Copies of this chain bind each other. A is one copy, B any other.
Amino acid sequence: MYFARIGRLRHLGRRSLGAHTLLAALAAILVPQTASAEIDSGATAWILTSSALVLFMTLPGLALFYGGLVRTKNVLSILMQCFALAAVVTILWLVFGYSVAFDTTGMQAGTTNLNSFIGGFSMAFLSGVTHESESGSIPTILHFVFQMTFAIITPALIVGTFAERMKFSAMLIFSAAWLILVYLPICHMTWSGDGGWFWDMGVIDFAGGIVVHITAGIAALVTCIVIGPRKGYPTTPMPPHNMTMCVTGTGMLWVGWYGFNGGSELGANGSAAMAVAVTQISAATAAFTWMCIEWIQHKQPSVLGLATGAIAGLAAVTPASGVIGPMGGLAIGFASGAICWYASTAMKQALGYDDSLDVFGVHGVGGFVGTVLAGVFGAAAFGGKGLDGSIIGQVGVQLFAAAVTAVYTAAITFGILKAVDALVGLRVEAEEESTGLDVSLHGETGYNL
């Protein structure tokens, strides 16, 4: 197996060996690898920690962030969906998911073939992977675990769009199919290394702006349109049932994101720390921006606005966090705070779809903003690590990959939804919806205070 992210740096190096800022980084990373491909215990410690942090983002971070925003009668359905996805995706990831995403059989730099789009089954059921297998400076099995936590959170993000109305069985089938047909190929094209389609184009997607946020955001938009709005939307008020739960989840997501972006370097070094720093700067700036806009617009800054802004800033900085400097963090934070605010409020209301918890407005739009701006603020002139070519060229590549991903995701998502609808039906009965999914689907109630 070839090791993606370190390959990423090597690959950048190949085309821009003269780039001053990259040389030292390359030296530090490549030399030990050439000398002897040995496990670094510090890197391993940090990626073990990062895996725990990213799992924590879903269990219970995202579950609480989303769960607090729905009405009391549906809170458990959200928690259930997030936890069930953790279970199902883990099993799929073991069975063949990891292999299809990261197997590099048949791939070659510059050659576009079937394996540029999808990996094979050589590592299905972790065949051939033992505790001694190595991938760069960490064990291969750790790469499996770390990437698994990303594969878990991506479909879990989509849950927010069809909250309070989707059948649990439909949710499971949809998510499994979506993981296989959308997540795995996009992940492979972007992260599997030399020979991957997006990879060979030089697309920058450090920790998943395209792979995670654009795929989830676009899928969310399509899904909420296909499944239709919640009964009563938008006339019936549906305020969050527990804002303290939502804010608790926000804190967990924020902290967990240190592992999401900081871990994506797959090492414990200055680049990982810089990724964490820009993550924090973007989150803070976006939160502050969103808060100020609300303050001006409505005279009252809300904690939901602050929290949503933070998540928007975190999502947006994700693709860029490995290549930008502090100023890039500020800029991406500001842009995503403002643009995601617009997308989740005025724009959503104008267009009328019921993206219940704003998955598209926050993750889709935020992921897009960050993917594009990574091509700008990655430039050495803006304090980034330096680009392969010009800013315009890089932005073009970024836009192309984002657009292709969006179109592909939309089409496949639509197809899966139609198939699942035919198979088991997407939506619960009206009676079940007004009773609430907790009692009608899971036979439980959230609170008996």
With a cutoff of 8 Å between Cβ atoms, the chain B residues found around residue A242 in the complex are 244, 446-449
Given A41-B43, A43-B42, A243-B444, A255 and B52 touching (CB < 8 A)? yes
With a cutoff of 8 Å between Cβ atoms, the chain B residues found around residue A303 in the complex are 76, 79-80, 83, 442, 444
How many copies are assembled?
3
**Contact yes or no, B447 A243, CB < 8 A:** yes
**Contact yes or no, A52 B55, CB < 8 A:** no
The distance in angstroms between the C-alpha atoms of A281 and B87, with both chains bound, is: 8
Size class of the A contact interface (CB-based, 8 Å): 35 or more
**Contact yes or no, A291 B326, CB < 8 A:** no
**Contact yes or no, A39 B255, CB < 8 A:** no
**Contact yes or no, B244 A130, CB < 8 A:** no
* Interface residues in A54-95 (C-beta closer than 8 Å to B): 55-56, 59-61, 63-64, 67, 71-72, 75-76, 79-80, 83-84, 86-88, 90-91, 94
Which one of A142-150, A154-162, A193-201 contacts B? A142-150
- Interchain nearest-CB distance for A293 vs B (Å): 13
With a cutoff of 8 Å between Cβ atoms, the chain B residues found around residue A84 in the complex are 287-288, 291, 301, 306
- Interchain nearest-CB distance for A157 vs B (Å): 16
Return the contact of A251 from the options B56, B144, B245 (Cβ within 8 A): B56
With a cutoff of 8 Å between Cβ atoms, the chain B residues found around residue A49 in the complex are 45-46, 48-49, 52
**Contact yes or no, B273 A56, CB < 8 A:** no
Task: Say yes or no: is A44 at the interface (Cβ < 8 Å to chain B).
Answer: yes
**Contact yes or no, B139 A44, CB < 8 A:** no
- Nearest B residue to A83 by beta-carbon distance? B306
The distance in angstroms between the C-alpha atoms of A276 and B144, with both chains bound, is: 10
Q: Which residues of A contact B (CB under 8 A)?
A: 21, 24-25, 28, 39-46, 48-49, 51-53, 55-56, 59-61, 63-64, 67, 71-72, 75-76, 79-80, 83-84, 86-88, 90-91, 94, 125-126, 129-134, 138-142, 144-145, 148, 168, 239-245, 247-248, 250-252, 254-255, 258-259, 262, 267-274, 276-277, 280-281, 283-285, 287-288, 291, 298, 300-304, 306-307, 310, 325-327, 330, 385, 441-449
Which A-B residue pairs are the 6 nearest by beta carbons?
A: A41-B42, A60-B251, A90-B284, A59-B251, A139-B270, A142-B273
